[in-house]
Amino acid sequence: MARAHGKAILLGEHGVVFGRPALAVALDRGVVARATAVASTSDCTLHIEPWGVTVVPDASSSRDLDRAFAALLDAYREAPRVRVEARTELPGGAGLGSSAALSVAVLRAIDELLGIERMIAEVIACSLAWERVFHGAPSGIDSALAAEGGILVYRKGEAPEVVSAPKPFRICVGDTGERSSTRSMVDAVARLRERNRAKIDLVFDSMAALVRNGRLAIEAGDHAAVGQLLDLNHALLASLMLSTEVVESMCASARGAGAFGAKVTGAGGGGCVIALAPGKEDDVIEAWKAAGRDAWISEVGA
């Protein structure tokens, strides 16, 4: 059985598409996959639960998942004769890197069956081929976290830097129930930047400063400081029109329930909100659930 992590970006999403660093954590929820041998390449399928979706590798299909599966299988010298069963524990299109986690778990399941061992950098590169089908220019942060786990500072085109927290900590993850496409959110930010490059680059530079401070705060175990940085990053993301009314109300209720900070995570336009609330996690989850949102606590940095 192969496994890959979901992720939550603590600081720096969108800036990371434009070459700035971002700080992200692997979640204890992810994707598990198992591959079994089939008689012929024409029987090659990927079945994804709980979506009940069956995918075939087809580079000319109109379905993104078929093309992504074909792109992933390009990693093999010969088309593998496999059937892959995957189960995702992550909501799709919600900012938690479910697509990258799926690609990494599927690749690892096939590798496991075929006895192939790859360096992490190669796993990330294969996952990126899948990710490019869904969104033209992924930074690669989702694939890096899916493959490597832990806490990383990631900058496009560079090896991820591992960040060590003095001990594991917990974050609250809440789902707005609103869905967005990463591609369209990234495109929207790119259009904003076209219109006012200097101003938007300043926003990204500010995010980069938050990432530098965030790394130090995590390494020092200073969660009050991390929480403040989450709030500041959220304000910057909101200034890029990436927040929604539901996101705002979930961030406000998390802070009201005692969180040190809260923000939208990932592409935005809905998706998931995270909050850091040491000792008050249950109160935050209760507040979100009372408003009808799905929410859970994830241990990170283990």
As measured in angstroms, the least distance from the Cβ of 98 to ligand PMV is 7
Contact assessment for residue 84 and residue 110, using Cβ atoms and an 8 Å cutoff: yes
Closer CB to ligand PMV, 110 or 186, in the complex? 186
Q: Considering the rule CB under 6 A, would residue 97 count as an interface residue with ligand PMV? A: yes
The b-or-e profile of 256-281 (16+ CB within 10 A means b, else e) is ebebbbbbbbbbbbbbbbbbbbeebb
Instruction: Find the catalytic residue in 28, 142, 201, 205.
Output: 142
Closer CB to ligand PMV, 82 or 298, in the complex? 298
- Selected from 30, 69, 75, 142, the binder of ligand PMV by CB under 6 A is 142
Locus of tokens 């076209």: 194
Instruction: Establish whether 142 is a catalytic residue.
Output: yes
Please identify, among the stretches 14-22, 45-53, 165-173, 218-226, the one whose residues bind ligand PMV according to the rule CB under 6 A: 14-22
Q: 183-222 mask for ligand PMV (x: CB under 6 A)?
A: ---x------------------------------------
Please state, in angstroms and rounded to a whole number, the distance separating the CA atoms of residues 222 and 6: 24
Contact assessment for residue 222 and residue 169, using Cβ atoms and an 8 Å cutoff: no
Q: Considering the rule CB under 6 A, would residue 139 count as an interface residue with ligand PMV? A: yes
Contact assessment for residue 71 and residue 59, using Cβ atoms and an 8 Å cutoff: yes
Please state, in angstroms and rounded to a whole number, the distance separating the CA atoms of residues 59 and 196: 37
Closer CB to ligand PMV, 71 or 141, in the complex? 141
**Sequence-ordered strand ranges (E) for 38-167:** 45-49, 53-55, 82-88, 151-154, 161-162
Point out which residues bind ligand PMV (CB under 6 A).
Answer: 13-14, 16-17, 95-97, 138-139, 141-142, 182, 186, 266-267
